[in-house]
Structure 1
Amino acid sequence: MIATADLYDERGDDLDALSLQLQDAGGLAAFDGPIRTVRCHRDNAIVKALLATPGDGAVLVIDGGGSLESALVGDMIAGSAADNGWAGLIINGAIRDRIAIASLPIGVKALGSNPRKSAKDGAGEVDVPVTIAGVVFAPGKHVWADLDGVLVER
């Protein structure tokens, strides 16, 4: 795994850097992989279903619209993601069960945490381009994350 700072020095013109300051929560500080996406608001049914399928080393970018009102991922969903071969999760929203998630072999970055669970209605979209803080996360492009931040292939 190459450090994001070094990668930016090598390929800066081909990359976008996410300026949003996400918190590191997973057991892996650095992760990368092809992008998959979910756009949802305070409803994690689609997230749970997708992370229960083989991840094949992908990173799921979840655009929760920046809401911290309820968690989109908890320890059970993050554990399912780790068990199914997902490399990491980047969440424009909240998580819960931070201590348990920190022990899992998966990278997790999120805006913050909230113990409140989300709805389970199934509202949202899968594998659509999402824009977070001006950076487009397009399915199939590559993302790198470490303690310095997040870089996305243009």
Structure 2
Amino acid sequence: MFKTTDLYDKYLESLQVAAPVFRDFGGRQRFSGQIVTLKAFEDNSFLKAAFETDGRGKVLVVDSGASLRCAMMGDVMAALGASNGWEGVVINGCIRDSADVAKVNLGVKALATTPRKTIKRNQGVRDIPLSFAGVQFNPGDYMYADEDGIVLSKTKIVE
């Protein structure tokens, strides 16, 4: 079982450390996996499509432009991701249904909660580098997240 503090102590500045802007909402606070990215502003159509695929060993990173106007994910979407094996999701934006999301076996980090849902416009871009929280999330890199934060590595450092 890894701890981000121990990973940082061992690998130091070879890791990227995300700014501490995220709150934990999921049923799992410790999660890791290979990064899959999604850029989608206030539209969770592509998030749902990603969660419908096999997510074993993967973490979905969603950049919704730090929007606090609507939630990119709720309990139904979290359950979908968990049922398809996703390790976790990091959302540069909001979620909703947080009490129910906390019961789902999925790591969930987001900025905040709001009751408003997205409008479905089927817009988004997958598998591109994303920059927020002071780091760059690259598809195929690895993320390790726990109660102390998020660290990123170009290679897998924990089995």
TM-based fold match above 0.5: yes
Identity of aligned residues (%): 43
Query: Which aligned segments of 4 or more residues in structure 1 are displaced greater than 3 angstroms?
Result: none
How far off its partner does 1:13 sit? 2.5
Flag structure 1 segments of 5+ consecutive residues without an equivalent: none
Aligned to 1:76: 76
Asked whether the equivalents of residues 34 and 57 of structure 2 are also in contact (C-alpha less than 8 Å), the reply is: yes
How far off its partner does 1:151 sit? 0.4
Superimposed CA distance per residue, residues 85-107 of structure 1 (whole angstroms, 9 cap, x where no aligned partner) = 00000010000000110000110
How far off its partner does 1:56 sit? 1.6
Per the normalisation by structure 1, the TM-score is: 0.97
Superimposed CA distance per residue, residues 95-121 of structure 1 (whole angstroms, 9 cap, x where no aligned partner) = 000011000011000000111000111
Alignment of 1:9-88 (within 5 A): 9-88=9-88
Letter in 2 for 1:4: T
Superimposed CA distance per residue, residues 47-96 of structure 1 (whole angstroms, 9 cap, x where no aligned partner) = 01110111022000000110010000111111000000000000100000
User: In structure 1, how many angstroms separate the alpha carbons of the residues matched to 2:107 and 2:96?
Assistant: 15
User: In structure 1, how many angstroms separate the alpha carbons of the residues matched to 2:128 and 2:77?
Assistant: 21
Letter in 2 for 1:108: V
User: In structure 2, how many angstroms separate the alpha carbons of the residues matched to 1:98 and 1:89?
Assistant: 14
Aligned to 2:157: none
**Are residues 1:5 and 2:11 paired?**
no
Asked whether the equivalents of residues 74 and 95 of structure 2 are also in contact (C-alpha less than 8 Å), the reply is: yes
Flag structure 2 segments of 5+ consecutive residues without an equivalent: 155-159
CA RMSD in angstroms, aligned pairs only? 0.8
Asked whether the equivalents of residues 72 and 94 of structure 2 are also in contact (C-alpha less than 8 Å), the reply is: yes
How far off its partner does 1:124 sit? 1.0
Aligned to 2:100: 100
User: In structure 2, how many angstroms separate the alpha carbons of the residues matched to 1:79 and 1:72?
Assistant: 14
